[in-house]
Structure 1
């Protein structure tokens, strides 16, 4: 049993001090750890259970990530493995410490389903991660909410846990996917029955459709049929009707989205393109990312900007429009804000737009996401310039593109 306070000496020469247990699964326990002698650097260490089965899972995950990063270059949407080794007979991987899982995010929002803006952002991140591993010939094979975690440092969702992953050329593939996210052919495969369809990246795309449905409705797709048993609509010669699974999904989200937000049709088109009982008819990552769903501009709600921590804090009700017209006054205000914000960590930049949707707001970028979270909490409700400050986080991509709102 790993104990808090225990020091792990890694192969790279780095030493990490175990802080606390983050979570446990069937094959591993994940702990938060601090670099020895520093309170700033933090990481996650994934300790696999003892045994050949778990040793293979550890090596598979490490190998997959190494191959993908070597072939595809840096991939922000994939968790990074920084080091590995064996501690007291247990293989481990040192990975970046992430904020919260997709399951925890939905609980945090307090809503049954996520907003379309959040879904667009999170699905795009997930597809970008899958795109890279598919290009290297790998299949994740366990795409579900608990295997997607938010990174405040990078401002994106990251794909984790490659314990069930395989290469498309592998001959010995074990059980894949989790209930509620199993493709029709995976249901047959997992049952041990003969399946005419070889497992491929198409199973990830089915899970992607189930995942988007869950994001929008908070519900899973009902149990599907097995491999080789195409639905009634797909058996027809002209195949004019949607695959029945896509049709069920559309019915589930139709009442939720109709009349509330634009983009309903685009979301349905994406889901029906992914939820097809015939594997080869499902959209690929490249095709999915080209759909109109990702070109529609959705507006985040105020709550959206509260639930996803990033390195950027947005200060609302801080400056007056009249102050923006005087260069010297604006310069003084910016200096005062930077000084106040620096109390919580290293400030990399401070932007005060003088026009556009971001006018009368202040955007402060911290070097460290933890410092941004601290500022977000401590600055909210504080008085500045005779005003009560309201804080939110802000989208990393929008800030980088100088799109302030």
Structure 2
């Protein structure tokens, strides 16, 4: 795609390729926007590279055409679930310099759990984010497992945040298969691979035929490792591949939780620990299902987001701090003048749906700006952060639209 024109036709519209988002051995992903319709949201284009066509056999998961068909079929059958990336449509890019290539037009998502882990490597993710991710992805797994699918490549890079729907979504179904019909032998990624998949891969490399096929339980193992990394702030690849882990992973999980300082009561951490142990059972028959995991008491505990969460996870609502003093809050004339200035400045970045300033705690003096979409709020956040307003430096974070609509203001943890 890079060698050809940066414009392609898809679903009766022209799409301008704006930026690369990632690439693998058989596909590349780009951000694109619709030309001629400024109201259309940007999208992601996953192009299956023609040069990769024919590599390997279908049973080995090779071939871009085969990968395209697999992912298309899975996404079409799983379409409509809130926590699974939405497929808008499919098309052929005839402008590719290497020949026609198959493409998926997908909803554009934002920050990945992999990126969140980079930013939280010293202290781990907040319980709010960890619980949010756990619930969202377990909901996705419960749905796709009910449909008979195994994702087979669950890892931090394949869990992305949706700014518009304020939830985490599962992406990349290139290795997925129907349970009982496993057509890909080498599944999952190092560090997130279940013991039974590890054994299957070893036997396949050794040329040993037969053995049992992997089940949906492999996805629960992978998610358990992801959540343990989010809680601990550590990459666990070397730990989960160690002999100590194989002998007694429960003791290692206990050690991680015992050594991690947890804000607020330790009881929620124990609930999370027990949940992860149930997902990381060596015996796949004893491993918790996604539906059972969702019944954990961990999900009944309310958490508040940290300030880092509201900086990292975009939403359509922007929260501006360090703008209004107590005097300006209660002087009606001065307050109206400042609000007019704020509204004028914020309108530069997109359509404003509502603007609200609480005059009592929690949230006293914070300015909440609801935009028509998260694209506008992200532009405003980038432009306004650190900007001087009335002699003060502005701090701009995002804020959950769902909480804002309910009139619920978090006492945010810093």
* Band of TM-score, shorter chain: 0.7 to 0.9
1:184/1:224 contact within 8 Å kept: no
Cα distance, 1:314 vs structure 2: 0.6
Which SS does the other structure have where 1:86 is aligned? strand
1:4/1:20 contact within 8 Å kept: no
- Structure 1 residue runs of 5 or longer lacking an equivalent are 233-243
Indicate which of 294, 302, 305 corresponds to 1:289: 294
Q: How does 1:287-326 map to 2 (within 5 A)?
A: 287-321=292-326
Q: Distance in 1 between matches of 2:262 and 2:393?
A: 37
Q: What RMSD, in angstroms, separates the aligned Cα atoms of the two structures?
A: 2.9
Q: Distance in 2 between matches of 1:95 and 1:134?
A: 22
Match of 1:99 in 2: 110
Match of 2:225 in 1: 210
Give a deviation string over 1:236-263, Cα, whole Å, max 9, x none: xxxxxxxx32332232333123577642
Give a deviation string over 1:263-318, Cα, whole Å, max 9, x none: 22122111111110111212222222221222222232222221222211111233
Count of matched residue pairs: 386
Match of 2:253 in 1: 249
Which SS does the other structure have where 2:43 is aligned? strand
2:192/2:221 contact within 8 Å kept: yes
Match of 2:85 in 1: 79
Indicate which of 136, 139, 152 corresponds to 1:141: 152
Moved more, 30-39 or 133-142: 30-39
Q: Distance in 2 between matches of 1:171 and 1:178?
A: 16
Moved more, 180-189 or 78-87: 78-87
1:155/1:311 contact within 8 Å kept: no
C-alpha distance 225-277 of structure 1, shift in aligned 2 (>3 A): farther
Report whether the alignment pairs 1:65 with 2:57. no
Indicate which of 177, 182, 186 corresponds to 1:175: 186
Match of 2:30 in 1: 31
Moved more, 104-113 or 303-312: 104-113
1:31/1:46 contact within 8 Å kept: yes
Cα distance, 1:126 vs structure 2: 1.7
Match of 1:184 in 2: 195
Indicate which of 194, 199, 213 corresponds to 2:214: 199
Q: Distance in 2 between matches of 1:261 and 1:384?
A: 39
Match of 1:396 in 2: 401
1:133/1:139 contact within 8 Å kept: yes
Which SS does the other structure have where 2:260 is aligned? helix
Give a deviation string over 1:320-350, Cα, whole Å, max 9, x none: 4566667887666555433331111111222
TM-score by length of 2: 0.83
- Structure 2 residue runs of 5 or longer lacking an equivalent are 55-62, 94-98
